[in-house]
Amino acid sequence: MTAVTLGPEGTYSHRATQAVDEDIVFRQSVTDIVAAVAQTEFDYGVIPIENSIEGSVTESLDALAEYDVAVVSEIVTPIRHALLAQGPNFETVASHSQALAQCRSYLESSYPDAQLEAVASTARGVEYARNDPTVAGIAHPDNADDDLEILAQDIQDQTSNATRFFVLAPVTNRSQAGGKTSLVVYPNANYPGLLLELLEPFADRDINLTRVESRPSGERLGDYVFHIDVAAGLYEDRTQEAIGDLEELAERGWVRRLGSYDIQHVIE
C-alpha cells in the first residue's frame, strides 16, 4: 500500500504519514493529494486539517468539498518548531505560512528585521536554508544536519501547539464505525435561521459538535459550504436521523458523509 502526503521529505505531514504507512509518495499541494486519492491512485492520503493556533487549513476544506473521498482516521500530533540555518547571519525566514504564523511572536521579538517568505511546506523552507546561507527555515528540529544548525527550539507561540491530520482513502473504504464523523453540507440556500436549522438536528439528539466551519461555495457571493464534525458515529441511529434532517434542509444542495473514524495521537 502507498500513502501520499505533502512533500518534500521532512514535513510535519510526512511525520504524521509515517504512522500510517512506510511507502510514502509526495505531492506539492493538498488539492493534488485529495484528487489523487479520489481517483484511486493511492491507498491513502494524509492532509492537515486544523492547527490549534491558526485554525483550519482552508485548502484542505475546499478540496474535501470538491472531491468525494473517505476520512478513515484522524492523527493528532504536537508541533515543535525550530529555527534552522547555516549560521546566525540570515536575512530571510522561509517556511509554510502556517508555521510562520505559529511563530509570529518569536520572530517579531527576536528577528524583527527578517523578511518572512511563505513557501509550500516547512521542508521546502529547510531546502532553501540548506542551499542559501542568507535564509533560515522553520521546521521540526530533526531536520537539522551537518549543513544546518538549530539556532532556537520550541519557538512556537503556544507550547500546546498541535495539528490534526485526516487520513483519506477512496470512497469504497468509507466506514460507519468510529467515535467521530465528518460531514460536508451545501444547503444551496440563504435565509434567516438557516445555520440554526442546520445545527438543531444534532442538539435535539444530544450529539456534540466538535467543529463547525463555513467556506465560500464559489458559486456566488454569500453562498457557503459547511464543514461539520460530530462526536458520534454513522453507525448510531441518532446520527443517521440527524443527517436525514440535514438532507431535507439541503434538498436543493447536498450532504456528503466523509465517514466515521477514530483518533490516533502521535507523540514526538
Q: What is the pLDDT along the chain (268 residues), one digit of tens a residue?
A: 899 999 888 888 998 999 999 999 999 899 999 999 999 999 999 999 999 988 999 999 999 999 999 999 999 999 899 999 999 999 999 999 989 999 999 999 999 999 999 998 898 999 999 999 999 999 999 999 999 999 999 999 988 889 999 999 999 999 999 999 999 999 999 999 999 999 999 999 999 999 999 999 999 998 999 999 999 999 999 999 999 999 999 999 999 999 999 999 987 6
Distance CA 177, CA 194 (A): 29
- Enumerate residues 6+ apart whose C-beta is below 8 A from 145: 130
Identify the pLDDT of residue 71.
98
pTM of the predicted model as reported, rounded to 2 decimal places = 0.87
Identify the pLDDT of residue 120.
85
Identify the pLDDT of residue 161.
87
The DSSP result for 132-159, as a single string, is -TTEEEEE-GGG--SS-EEEEE--SS-T
Q: What is the pLDDT of residues 198-211, one digit of tens each?
A: 999 999 999 999 99
Contacts 24+ apart (CB under 8 A), 6-11: 6/30, 6/33, 6/47, 6/48, 6/120, 6/121, 7/121, 7/123, 8/121, 8/123, 8/124, 8/127, 9/123, 10/122, 10/123, 10/126, 10/139, 10/140, 10/142, 10/143, 11/121, 11/122, 11/123, 11/139
Identify the pLDDT of residue 1.
81
